[in-house]
Structures are given as structure tokens and as C-alpha cells.
Amino acid sequence: MADSAGSGQAADMAADDRECPLCGYVGPFKAHKRSGRPNASCARCGSRERHRLVALYLGRGGEGAFAGLRILHFSPEYFLAPYFSRAALYLTADLSSPEADLRTDITKMGISNAAFDFVMCNHVLEHIDDDAAAIAEFHRVLVPGGTALITVPLDGGLARTYEDPAITAPEERARHFGQFDHVRQYGRDLAVRLARPGFDVESFKPDLAQQARYAIHDATEIFVARRPA
């Protein structure tokens, strides 16, 4: 789980050797304020593990990889916006945030078919009752050959995603799913769930040295869902 104790993190290393790929800070990281999870936050920019993971993936091609693309970013993190500075169109989306460019429901976006080349959805689906509808919407709004980049809190020990619509009380959701506003705990079948609308799915996971250097949990990975051309 994203906010659980960091038992899955790579082996300890000297605190002064930790590095943030987003802001370039080198030195000790801070524990998570709520859970106490060690090395959760960059001491300079505040990025957490999931932000640093995505930065490693996005940074492989640099800003030029997104030049000229039309990008839709759900529940946007300001840490990641610089990677899309050369996009032809960069729109943020959220159901409730007044700061988002689009106020839209991720399960029924009201966006034209094939309107975007790239969709970013970082730690959102675990909050969505009908995640299958959201995934189908990603497929619909992407052009053939387009890509959705998706992360969730993942429990690699679960073969199948655990969910129970009858669990609605915040304290029970926290106990079962890891956080009061989560509606499921994703397992190893996430790639199968993402593939159902027709995506080709692969994953990206940093190696052990990167996990230690950037303080990223071993169980964390990015799912890359591509709509076939």
C-alpha cells in the first residue's frame, strides 16, 4: 500500500546519498507525516515515492519525448508539469479541484474520441468506484498509438485485487484498503484489468540501485497502457 510502512523498500543506504530526481536535492529524506514511513518525502520539494517513480520514467526521454503531444493529466501533481512543457496541449482534469483546467468525471469525461496522445493518471483509480469505466474512457479519448501512464498503490502479495462495495465507512476502508478514501487494494491482476478495453500493457519498475537511491518501494511500478495503432 502506498501509505503503509516501508518494509518493501530497497536496502538501507547512507542518508546523504539519497537523491530526488525531480529537484536534484541530495541528502536525508523526511518520514511521512501521518504514517511515519521513513524516507517518504524529499526534504526540498516534498515529492513522495510515487512522484519520484514517475519522474524516473518520464525523464528517460526528456522533455522532447512529449513535444507536440496533446496531454491530459488527472489529479495533477505540480512536480510533474515541467516534463510536459513542450506539449502542444497540456490540460489538467479533476472532478472537484477549482485549479484544474477541466472539471470532469473520470468515468464519463465528456471529451471527444481520440482527443489526446497521452493520459497521466497517478494514484487516482483506487478512489474510483467504477474503475473499469475510467479505464475504458482512457482508451476512448486516446488516439490509436496513444499511451496512458497509470500508477496505483499496489500490493504485490495479492494475486487478485481486493474490493468490497459493502465497505463504505472511512475507518473500515482504511483498515481494508489502506486509506479512508480508497475503495480497493490493487493486486497483481491490475495489468489484466487495464487490458480489458483493448490496451497493450507493460510495466516499468526501477532496479534495486534506483530504489535505494531515490527511496522508492520495491513493490511500486508504473503501468504503461498503449492503445494499438
In tens, the pLDDT along 3-61 reads: 333 334 444 555 668 999 999 999 999 998 887 888 999 999 999 999 999 999 998 76
SS3 letters for 65-91? HHCCCEEEEECCCCCCHHHHCCCCEEE
Q: For residue 71, give the nearest of 61, 82, 60, 79 by alpha carbon.
A: 82
Please report whether residue 6 resides in a domain: no
Q: Which CATH number does the domain housing residue 109 bear?
A: 3.40.50.150
- pLDDT in the model for residue 4: 37
Q: Where are the alpha helices (DSSP H) in 25-142?
A: 49-58, 131-141
Q: Is the pLDDT of residue 163 over 50?
A: yes
Residue 5 lies in a domain: no
The confidence score (pLDDT) of residue 180 equals: 96
Instruction: For residue 189, tell me if it sits in a domain.
Output: yes
Q: Find the Cα–Cα–Cα–Cα dihedral 32, 83, 55, 174, rounded to 10°.
A: 40
pLDDT at 78: 87
Query: What is the reported pLDDT for 62?
Result: 63
9 located within any domain: no
Using DSSP, how many helices (H) and how many strands (E) does the chain show?
5, 9
Inside any domain, residue 61? yes
Find the length of the chain: 229
2 in a domain, yes or no?
no
Q: Looking at the domain assignment, is residue 10 inside a domain?
A: no
Strand partners, 103: 94
Largest CA distance in the chain: 50
- Give residue 65's pLDDT: 85
Q: Could you tell me if 136 and 225 are in contact, meaning their C-beta atoms sit under 8 angstroms apart? A: no
Is there a contact between 13 and 41 (Cβ–Cβ < 8 Å)? no
pLDDT reported for residue 9: 43
Residue 72's pLDDT is 98
Q: Considering the chain, what is the average pLDDT of its residues?
A: 90
Question: 34 or 184: whose pLDDT is higher?
Answer: 184
Number of domains forming the structure of the chain:
1
Identity of residue 84: F
Residue 8 lies in a domain: no
Mean pLDDT of 88-111: 96
> For residue 184, how many other CB atoms are within 10 A of its CB?
23
Mean pLDDT over 111-126 rounds to 97
> Which range marks the domain in which residue 74 is found?
15-226
* Residues 154-179, mean pLDDT to the nearest whole number: 96
DSSP-H helix ranges across 112-225:
131-141, 170-177, 190-195, 208-214
**How do residues 150-160 score in pLDDT, each as one tens digit?**
999 999 899 99
pLDDT for 2 equals: 35
Alpha carbons 81 and 74: distance in angstroms, whole number: 12
Segment 119-129, tens digit of pLDDT: 999 999 999 99
